[in-house]
Structure 1
Amino acid sequence: MGIFRDLIDTTRAILAGPQSAAEAPAPAAAPRPGPRVTVDAFARQLRAEFPDGVDAPTLWDRCEAVGLDMADVDRAIDEQTYAAERAAQVNPSQVDPAALTVVDLTGIDAVRMRVKGITFALHDNERARFGGTDYLLVREPGNAHDPHAIAVYGRGRRVGYVAASRAAALAPLLDSLEGDAFRVGGAVVTEGRTPRLWVDVPRVPALRAFARSR
Structure 2
Amino acid sequence: MVLLVIALLLAVAAVALVVFVRGRPHRHEDPATPPPEPAAAANQAQTEEVTCPPARTPRTALARLNIAEEMTADLRPLGGARLRIVGTAHVVPHSKRKTVGGDAYMLVREPKNQHDLNAVAVYDATRKVGYLARAKAASYAPQLDRIGAKGYRVAGEPPVDSMKLWVVLPPIAALRAYPTVERGGPTNKV
Deviation at 1:137, TM superposition (A): 0.2
Query: What are the residue-to-residue correspondences of 1:16-95 with 2, within 5 Å?
Result: 78=19, 82=23, 85=25, 89=29, 91=31
Contact 1:188 1:195 in 2 (8 A): no
Q: Distance in 1 between matches of 2:120 and 2:179?
A: 17
Q: Distance in 2 between matches of 1:92 and 1:158?
A: 9
Deviation at 1:163, TM superposition (A): 1.5
Normalization by structure 1: what TM-score? 0.55
Normalization by structure 2: what TM-score? 0.61
What is the aligned partner in structure 2 of residue 145 from structure 1?
115
Unaligned runs of 5+ in 2: 1-11, 34-59, 186-190
Deviations 1:87-122 (A, max 9, x none): x825169x8413313211111131110001111111
What is the aligned partner in structure 2 of residue 170 from structure 1?
140
Higher relative contact order structure (alpha carbons within 8 Å, sequence separation ≥ 6) = 2
Tell me whether 1:199 sits opposite 2:167 in the alignment.
yes
Pick from 82, 97, 100: which aligns with 2:62?
97
Rg larger in structure: 1
* Greater helix proportion: 1
Query: Measured at CA, do residues 92 and 144 of structure 1 come closer, stay the same or move farther in structure 2, by a change above 3 Å?
Result: closer
Query: What are the residue-to-residue correspondences of 1:180-195 with 2, within 5 Å?
Result: 180-191=150-161, 194-195=162-163
- Partner amino acid, structure 1, of 2:130: G
Unaligned runs of 5+ in 1: 1-70
Which stretches of structure 1, 4 residues or longer, exceed 3 Å deviation after superposition? none
Deviation at 1:207, TM superposition (A): 0.8
Q: Distance in 2 between matches of 1:197 and 1:171?
A: 20
- Once superposed, what is the RMSD of the aligned Cα atoms? 3.0
